[in-house]
Structure 1
Amino acid sequence: MTNEKYILSIDQSTSGTKVLLVNKRGQIIHKCSVSHTQYYPHPGWVEHDPVEIYENVKTLLEEMVQTSDVSQENLAVLAITNQRETIVVWDKETGIPVYNAIVWQCRRTSDNCQELKEQGYEHLIQSKTGLKADPYFSASKVKWIMDHVDGVKDRAKEGKLLIGTIDSWLIWKLTGGKVHATDYTNASRTLLFNIHTLQWDDELLEVFCIPREMLPEVKDSNELFGVTEDATLPFTQLPISGIIGDSQGALFGQKCFEPGMAKATYGTGTSVLMQTDEMVDGTNGLVTSIAWGMNGKVCYALEGIINSTGDTIKWLKDQLELIDEIDEAEQLASSISDNQGVYLVPAFVGLGAPYWKPYSRAAIMGMSRNTGKPQIVRAALESIAYQVKDVIELMQSESNIQIKSVKVDGGATSNRFLMQYQADMLDSDVIASEVAELSSMGSVYLAGLGVGIWKSKDEINKLNQDHELYRPLMTSDVRDKYYQGWKQSVNGVLVY
């Protein structure tokens, strides 16, 4: 290693941990990753072990040191991007979680959210947070832990417990329990944060029966959050900055700095975000999100949340065993000329935007006796493109902004069949970055801005400009036929 300064990034996703080392030119010099266990204690329930997650972070940081020859002197800052709505409750003295982390996919609080709607709270929640009263978000998960884990409610009232999204948990652990903080993007996904006043909201805290003392301090994404002080880490006193939720991280990593610029991140689920700068009220299934806080200014975005995209392909592999490797999906889908009327609606944990039907369940429609592996695999890939189209169409109508192209990132962008089909369905260009880790790069750019590695967004715009362009090739009548088939299939699974 030279004396050049590098940025270390932790990407804590739904499926695992990834650590990246990035130089001033925005190049990923080294990366390593490990998966963590997914727990499904009941149908529709999803949990992670937060202790396992932090141990994985430490293991990868140690591996990075050993395999890249990086030293403390080479490192300028540590950045974090994370799965946003997954929530942890832990003891602030012992650091021991009172329960597993409840994951954003978990639907155990569907009934509680339905009760809130019936009690007339949905308008209050949406007007303050920009979000839906939906189990996707964090607050109802915290309330479930408070109501179902012995002693938690009393310990919370006594000021003995803390709550946080995964970024907040990692910051607290990395700083040896000295810093309890989060950024605006993660705070805004809890149903407890008022995106107008930029404060934790007392009225919402009362609705969910959560003491304010449990909550972290909220900062700009590019602020200094503290320094690493856990003595078991391979380095200490490393500044921590560049904290941002993964989808907003990808928006920043895709350099969507101007209103009307949109991106889709293909992960376990998919978040479609359009930068609006100023606040635009999300309606008809869209939510209003904080895009990022930076240098004392908060920018906003419209978001459509899709629950199951990459997870659908994982389901083909792990549960149905139709493919041995994820890469096989592209070959099978391309082996037939059309979908032959077969549609998969992947409502495994309900449907997100624009439907928001948590009780809906998955179905395969239109099968005949000739339906086989290629048709089902193709239907699974096509379902991803249809869901993104649902969201983009709604964004354009609600914002009165015509999106000319969509920037895409995430693991599924390597699937050329899917990317071409996405361009065809949207009837617009799809721009796939050559850098797959855009959520990480967003946190890296923000951290670099925070410690002065880069001086402005103009400098960042000059980095990582390589991409692959997919232009629409499908005729409008064929596009309309396929999309109508999708809409009819969705109507068959909606549960009102």
Structure 2
Amino acid sequence: MSAVSRGAVLALDQGTSGTKGLLVEEDGRVVATAHRPLTQQYPEPGWVEQDPAALWRSVTGVAEELAAQAATAGTRVVGLGLSVQREAVLVWDPVTGAALSPLVSWQDRRTAERCAKLTASPEGELISGRTGLPVDPMFSATKAEWLLDRLDPSREAAAAGRLRVGTVDAWLLHRLTGGATDATETGCASRTQLVRVDDAEWDPDLLDLFRIPRTALPRIAASDGTGEELGHTRNVPGLAHGLPIAAVLGDSHAALFAQSHGRPGVVKATYGTGASLMVLNPEGHRPAGGIAATLAWRRTRDGGAAHALEANIASAGTAIRWAARLLGTDSAGIAALAVDAREASEVYLVPAFSGLGAPYWDRGARALLVGMDFDTGPAEVARAAVESMAFQVADTLSRFDTVLGGSVAELRADGGPTGNDRLMALQAELIGRPVLRAGRPEVSALGVAYLAGTALGVWDDADLPELTPQGTRFASHEDGAWRNRRMAGWRDAVACARGKRT
């Protein structure tokens, strides 16, 4: 390791359900953790919002708690890493940083009609060709357009630079630096559907299409640095003034960095509210079969951006929360209840509560339960909810096999739901290859901590495999006939949800 004074990296992971944080010392040990939950609001059917003020309080609360723990332990915080939820968008005052709108979530569906019209027009191919992403309300562009249509219909204020529109990373960078940094990180920017995936620049044609003035957008920054690129903290409760913000990543990108240490060849699946499968793509494989192209990160030392392939499953943990509400329990209760399901039961839940994301990208699909009989009860419904995550990941991984031109050797898994051993065992059986579960649940925070530490000289890339906590491996034991039968049952259920079967 590099010869530096002993210190620690403070990593913040701002997600949909809350903000988590880690304090990672030079030897790789996580010596402190903190968490603040967040809620979502649903003002109209299909709308999903969060309160920016509550989000900011969660970030500062976690930062303050970790800084206090560091002070008590006599640990010096040398830099900050920030991992964030992606695609969610808001408008703020570029002078004060005050939010002028709710945060419109990546789950929000209010622009579904606009996206459907774009998909059916020549502009649909233009958007996907330039950005690598399917036209879908998940991404930021149509939501940013919607917000500006309400706040600044003429675009006069946006054109004059009196409004800023962007994603969570850009707003938090503004707030963390007291307004000194007006930037969005490369990987997060690539998820807005306003950036050319080929060169990581705002696309003028797309800005015109969505009527978003370039003056309303932050600059696109690298993912790491020693403070010059991303700025320094200013007036953040509990944090020292001038602490370098050494890395910013989207949450899924941060998980990929933690799992792969920046090296190609690793396919990871992050299970959360939704799920994301991602792999670096230095070979330039063309996206197909519901898999999108994206930018993983842009390290200052490398110059250019690292390209990746990603598939976004719309509902993963959402299925658990739905079942918990239906059955009057919580997520832990669903996991416990699922154990009691009859072994012979093959009930499938297709959690298309807002349509399906990858690999089908069919927002007209509808949620349903398939395979019930007279003996189906709460335990079988609970198990179907848990298993829906594994089926969706297996279905999507098969598309990666096709795009990458060969079978992926193993799947790296992370995220809260992966703590369920039965889910991980089923995942291995359904894909017919090993699943390696991450050694810690806070993988996004760990990934951005590693990137920040390498930028600051705390670690070299070669150190990262030794620092990473050892995970748990789940092997496949069932034969191909069992796997094919279960996957066929799942795909039949999906076909019903999509109206392809009766």
* TM-score of the superposed pair, with normalisation by structure 2: 0.94
Contact 2:327 2:378 in 1 (8 A): no
More deviation, 66-75/257-266: 66-75
- Equivalence map 1:265-284=2 (5 Å): 265-284=270-289
Asked if 1 retains the 8 angstrom alpha-carbon contact of 2:97 and 2:171, the reply is no
Count of aligned positions: 492
Identity of aligned residues (%): 36
C-alpha contact (below 8 Å) 1:265/1:271 kept by paired residues: yes
| Aligned-partner residue type, residue 374 of structure 2 | R
Give, in angstroms, the shift of residue 365 of structure 1. Answer: 1.3
Task: Show the 5 A alignment for 1:355-434.
Answer: 355-434=360-439
**Cα distance between partner residues in 1 of 2:207 and 2:237:** 36
Partner of 2:358 in structure 1? Answer: 353
Q: CA deviation at 1:429?
A: 0.1
Instruction: Pick from 313, 321, 326 the counterpart of residue 314 of structure 1.
Output: 321
Q: Is contact 1:261–1:275 with CA below 8 Å preserved after alignment?
A: yes
Say which is worse superposed, 293-302 or 203-212, in terms of deviation.
Answer: 293-302
| Contact residue 256 and residue 275 of structure 1 kept, 8 A | no
- Do the aligned partners of residues 417 and 73 (structure 1) sit closer, same or farther apart at CA in structure 2, a change above 3 Å counting? closer
Answer yes or no: is the 8 Å Cα contact 2:314–2:357 preserved in 1.
yes
User: Tell me, what secondary structure is at the counterpart of 2:281?
Assistant: strand
Deviations 1:154-185 (A, max 9, x none): 32122201122111111100111111112111
Which ranges of structure 2 fall in alignment gaps of 5 or more residues? Answer: none
- Verify: 1:476 aligned to 2:483, yes or no: no
Task: Output the CA distance in 2 between the equivalents of 1:241 and 1:256.
Answer: 16
- The letter of the residue matching 1:311 is T
Q: Quote the Cα distance in structure 2 between the aligned partners of 1:384 and 1:5.
A: 39
Q: How far off is 1:150 after superposition?
A: 5.8
Following the alignment from structure 1 to structure 2, what is the Cα–Cα distance between the partners of residues 381 and 65? 37
Report the 3-state secondary structure (helix = DSSP H, G, I; strand = E; otherwise coil) of the residue aligned with 1:254: helix
Deviation at 1:335, TM superposition (A): 2.2
Q: CA deviation at 1:197?
A: 2.0
1:463 alignment counterpart = 467
Report the 3-state secondary structure (helix = DSSP H, G, I; strand = E; otherwise coil) of the residue aligned with 2:98: coil
Structure 2 vs 1, CA of residues 25 and 269 (structure 1 numbering), >3 Å: closer, same or farther? same
Residue in structure 1 matched with residue 184 of structure 2 by the alignment = 182
Structure 1 478/120 Cα, relative in aligned 2: closer, same or farther at 3 Å?
A: same
Using the size of structure 1 for normalisation, the TM-score is 0.95
Distance 2:60 2:199 in 1: 36
Partner of 1:91: 93
Q: Distance in 2 between matches of 1:332 and 1:241?
A: 43
Q: Deviations over 1:254-313 (max 9, x none)?
A: 125443310000111100012222432211211011122112132211111101111211
Whether the aligned pair in 2 keeps the contact of 1:227 and 1:236 (CA below 8 Å) is yes
Q: Please state if 1:492 is matched with 2:484.
A: no
Partner of residue 49 from structure 1, selected from 47, 51, 56: 51
CA distance in 2, matches of 1:216, 1:71: 38
In the TM superposition, what is the alpha-carbon distance from 1:55 to its structure 2 partner? 1.7
Q: CA RMSD in A?
A: 1.9
The one-letter amino acid of 1:366's match is: G
Q: Residue 101 and residue 260 in structure 1: after superposition, are their counterparts in 2 closer, same or farther (change >3 A)?
A: same
Q: Deviations over 1:320-367 (max 9, x none)?
A: 134x34223333222235362311000112100111012322111121
Say whether the 8 Å CA contact 1:27–1:464 is kept in structure 2: no
Distance 2:161 2:55 in 1: 25
One-letter amino acid matched to 1:460:
L
> Gapped runs of 5+ residues in structure 1?
none
Say which of 159, 164, 167 aligns to 1:165.
167
The aligned residue for residue 66 of structure 2 is: 64
Task: Give the C-alpha shift of residue 220 in structure 1.
Answer: 2.0
* Letter in structure 1 aligned against 2:221: K
